[in-house]
Structure 1
Amino acid sequence: MAGGGSTTPEQGQLRAAFGGMTTRGRSFLAAGVAAAACAYLLGQAELLRVGLLLAALPLVCVLVLHRTRYRVAGSRTLTPARVPAAAESRVRLRVENVSRLPTGVLMLQDRVPYVLGPRPRFVLDRIEPGGSREVSYRVRSDLRGRYPLGPLQLRLTDPFGMCELTRSFTAFDTLTVVPRVEPLPPVRLAGEAAGYGDGGHRTLALAGEDDIIPRGYRHGDDLRRVHWRSTARHGELMVRREEQPQKARCTILLDTRAAAHDGSGPDSAFEWAVAGAASIALHLLERGFSVRLLTDTGSTVPGPEGGESADTAGLLLDSLAAVEHSAEESLAAAYGVLCDGAEGLLIAFFGELDEQQAALAGRIRRRSATAVAFVLDGDAWSRGPGGIRLSRGRPQTAERLRMLREAGWTALPVAPGAALADLWRAAGQPGTAPAGSVPGQSGAGASGRCEAGA
């Protein structure tokens, strides 16, 4: 049994086509109907023919435009698809006529988020059969994030301007705006081993000749490394694999707690911390470190083995582009991840720390040979123009720095306008090393154990 209220997709599309009739088309249709009615009442055959012509013209334009509106293809290309904040990306739009008839005038519009600028609009002349047109525009954003571009919209018109139809494509692209990366000077932190340098080789032969792990001979291997006993056993040349490069590890801890940061926008303390984490991550990757990103929620990017991938830098930047404030109130989740065995260099970007979180941060440091903390001075960041304090009751930054230094951190305060390169250079100076970071000295950071319970 057929339902009386059901409509087919073709009927819905035809109804939408008649809904796109312009003011001119409706005027022609109304004039034609009025002329036909007057001709019928007055008995004027010539006026009837004029009325039918006026009424038929917009109807024919709607039907023709309805049949040809799905024969236009559109595509979009971003160059590049990943840009730093405040940098521009070029978007190229390509429209191709895949029908056998030329198109009318097309108005092209691409949907973009408000932060990227106004919606671009272009008017294209008629496109010949099989032809194409390309237009381009630029987008930029001072705020990092992932922004969808699209869908692309085409407004089709007939040569007489009787009807306008809007076609919306389904495909869209994503523009990734990553934090701005600041070049950093080469600094050797206390207790740090270079990525492939000092301390970067692991000897596999620990208990004598029999414990050597041999491998097959490769072109270019030194013949002095041939292991004759394994060669005789396997029937092919085998060489000793005495040393194997081991990347130095680094964990970058980013405090994203909403309670630890005030304000938002490109000049906020949180954005400074995100940009700082991105800068140090890329700097250490270039030096051969295996870098992972850890947040207060306990999530890691790209993970313990992610440093072996060639796409680690892009993965880290993409993650930092989308990182937002978390609802966590404690650093306990990050503490639990680091207690599971994340030894190596530890770089932390802390927001405001109360006494309990500062003590927890001190215990976090115990699994790392070298730990550097950039502590955002919440009192300084909260001051408005003219030094007016916008909020009160904040913890004392100096006291938190003292607690972190006693726990073994190289703790540095971060004020508005601070240059990361200067702070990074200061972290490598001997005078900034905390007492607990020097072997042989006592301090809360001398212990290598992780205590149970945060």
Structure 2
Amino acid sequence: MAAARPVAMDGGDAKGGARAALGGLTTRGRSFLAAGLAAAACAYVLGQSDLLRVGLLLAVLPLVCVMVLYRTRYRVTGTRRLSPSRVPAGSEARVHLRMDNISRLPTGLLMLQDRVPYVLGPRPRFVLDRVEPGGRREVSYRVRSDLRGHYPLGPLQLRLSDPFGMCELTRSFSTYDTLVVIPHTEPLPPVRLAGETSGYGEGRQRSLALAGEDDVIPRGYRHGDDLRRVHWRSTARYGELMVRREEQPQRARCTVLLDTRLTAYRGTGPDSAFEWAVSGAASALVHMLERGFAVRLLTDTGDAVPGEGEGGFAGSSQATADAAGLLLDTLAVVGHSDGGGLSRAYDVLRGGGEGLLIAFLGDLDEEQTGVVARMRQRSGGAVAFVLDGAAWVNGESPQSREEAAGRLRRLREAGWTVVPVEPGAQLSALWRLAGPQGAPAGSKGFSGGWS
């Protein structure tokens, strides 16, 4: 929510205010002024006093309106509130505007206008009746975007008009808000992916399980600790009661790789292959966080998410929502990269530890297929959702079916669980194919669809 500082609806300095007020003459006001001057000139030439009085009336009326607005002295404040401030693509958000008159004078007729990007819809305009001193007016409008991104809302503009519509005075607030449109996410079924460990931390090294008696790291006694865990040797050394630390299992980790190469996708818009890949990566990240994994988002450029720890974002009851918000905010603005390869992502994976790898890939040539195949050696399990960009645009792949099938078969031979993605496919349905029971079905679908 953003609260704008008070805006004075007055003329400001004498010269600048008068010039701004005269510049605020509407078409009607300019027409009246021009007609009055023309009538006065004709009355002077023809010697018609009645025509002169009419001309003076026509010319003086817009000038009086300008003077009235110029002499106006009142102050208003504006507040904008987004509900919610982060919405999935294709969903609506409501913007609430509130105007407060903090001066001692009532306002005249006001027109309130908020600036919004064209992708969110038409620019909203509201007409506010007379606002009494200390009074307020509240209005709202809806915005919606099928394209993810960060969209600025504001600043607010107030337009003051006289009752005759001869002159308008416009003032703008300085603050604005940002609407974050995140990728659409799907709820995924609780399927154990191929290569995933069977339980939280199971099958992994434990930091203290293999430690000997001399390697025990004790800590101070806390109320409620089991006395059977007291380490007497350390107690005698430190002079206070010390206990053995509990065995700490290592958190299961997952890396979600998003291929953003411009050469890997074709087409644009909310129904394009790239947008499907971004939405799929967002769904996978949220799903793995909810399952308690420490997740990490990785793109072909090798960049990390701001605020991401060394092992990724850790999912817990308190931090899951915040971590998911940071990841979705990053995906809201991710775009195509100019790079042509996945070597930077491979270097990051080569320097990290083992864990589950979930990749959303676009078109792969022979070289990039080899790079992806080597990534499998640095992970405990690997699942690849492969999109054929040309098929999403033309309905058919320009590559020969034998070459496409051979490259995907090469990934499967390297240990990847490969799931081809057809245009318009639902990730929740493909997610089941990535499990141990669905992997053969995924292979069958691959053979029947692309070979």
**What TM-score, normalized by structure 1, do the two folds share?**
0.84
Q: Distance in 2 between matches of 1:234 and 1:68?
A: 78
SS in 1 for 2:409: helix
Q: Who is 1:3 aligned against?
A: none
Q: How does 1:210-359 map to 2 (within 5 A)?
A: 210-301=214-305, 302-308=308-314, 310=319, 311-359=322-370
Point out which structure has higher relative CO (alpha carbons under 8 A, 6+ apart). 2
* C-alpha distance 58-429 of structure 1, shift in aligned 2 (>3 A): same
Q: Who is 1:141 aligned against?
A: 145
Shift of 1:236: 3.3
| Residues 56-114 of structure 1, C-alpha deviations (whole Å, 9 max, x = no match) | 54334324424547722222111001111111111111112222211111111212122
Q: Distance in 1 between matches of 2:388 and 2:80?
A: 44
Q: Distance in 1 between matches of 2:41 and 2:392?
A: 76
Q: Who is 1:117 aligned against?
A: 121
* C-alpha distance 167-395 of structure 1, shift in aligned 2 (>3 A): farther
Corresponding residue to 2:411 among 381, 391, 404: 404
Q: Distance in 2 between matches of 1:324 and 1:125?
A: 45
How many positions carry a matched residue from both structures? 423
SS in 2 for 1:382: helix
Q: Who is 1:451 aligned against?
A: none
Q: Distance in 2 between matches of 1:224 and 1:24?
A: 92
- Kept after mapping to 2: 8 A contact 1:382/1:390: no
Shift of 1:13: 4.2
What letter matches 2:291 in structure 1?
Answer: R
Q: Who is 1:444 aligned against?
A: none
Range that drifts further, 226-235 or 23-32: 23-32
SS in 1 for 2:359: strand
Shift of 1:30: 4.3
What letter matches 2:123 in structure 1?
Answer: R
- Kept after mapping to 2: 8 A contact 1:216/1:236: yes
Q: Distance in 1 between matches of 2:241 and 2:205?
A: 24
Give RMSD over aligned pairs. Answer: 2.9
Q: Distance in 2 between matches of 1:382 and 1:45?
A: 77
Shift of 1:138: 0.9
Shift of 1:165: 1.7
Confirm or deny that 1:72 pairs with 2:79.
Answer: no
Q: Distance in 1 between matches of 2:34 and 2:60?
A: 11
Q: Who is 1:5 aligned against?
A: none
Shift of 1:264: 1.1
Range that drifts further, 390-399 or 74-83: 390-399
Corresponding residue to 2:161 among 141, 151, 157: 157
Q: Who is 1:449 aligned against?
A: none
Corresponding residue to 2:179 among 175, 179, 203: 175
Shift of 1:426: 1.2
Shift of 1:190: 3.4
| Residues 192-244 of structure 1, C-alpha deviations (whole Å, 9 max, x = no match) | 23673424672326442232112223333323223233333334332211312
| Residues 395-421 of structure 1, C-alpha deviations (whole Å, 9 max, x = no match) | 832111111011111111111122212
Shift of 1:170: 2.1
Corresponding residue to 1:426 among 417, 433, 442: 433
Corresponding residue to 2:66 among 52, 58, 62: 62
Structure 2: 5+ residue runs without aligned partners? 1-11, 442-451
Shift of 1:252: 0.6
Q: Who is 2:373 aligned against?
A: 362
- Kept after mapping to 2: 8 A contact 1:103/1:127: yes
Q: Distance in 2 between matches of 1:319 and 1:419?
A: 23
SS in 1 for 2:206: strand
| Residues 117-155 of structure 1, C-alpha deviations (whole Å, 9 max, x = no match) | 111111111111121111101111112111111222221
Q: Who is 1:12 aligned against?
A: 16
Shift of 1:248: 1.0
Identical amino acids, percent of aligned pairs: 72
Shift of 1:279: 0.6
What letter matches 1:113 in structure 2?
Answer: P
Q: Distance in 2 between matches of 1:208 and 1:321?
A: 49
| Residues 4-35 of structure 1, C-alpha deviations (whole Å, 9 max, x = no match) | xxxx9763343222111123433444465567
Q: Who is 1:441 aligned against?
A: none
Shift of 1:254: 0.5
* C-alpha distance 376-76 of structure 1, shift in aligned 2 (>3 A): same
Q: Who is 1:437 aligned against?
A: none
- Kept after mapping to 2: 8 A contact 1:104/1:125: yes
SS in 2 for 1:284: helix
- Kept after mapping to 2: 8 A contact 1:205/1:212: no
SS in 1 for 2:21: helix
| Residues 37-71 of structure 1, C-alpha deviations (whole Å, 9 max, x = no match) | 68878999999888766655433432442454772
Q: Distance in 2 between matches of 1:10 and 1:235?
A: 81
- Kept after mapping to 2: 8 A contact 1:194/1:248: no
Shift of 1:275: 0.8
- Kept after mapping to 2: 8 A contact 1:194/1:287: no
- Kept after mapping to 2: 8 A contact 1:195/1:289: no
SS in 2 for 1:139: strand
* C-alpha distance 345-66 of structure 1, shift in aligned 2 (>3 A): farther
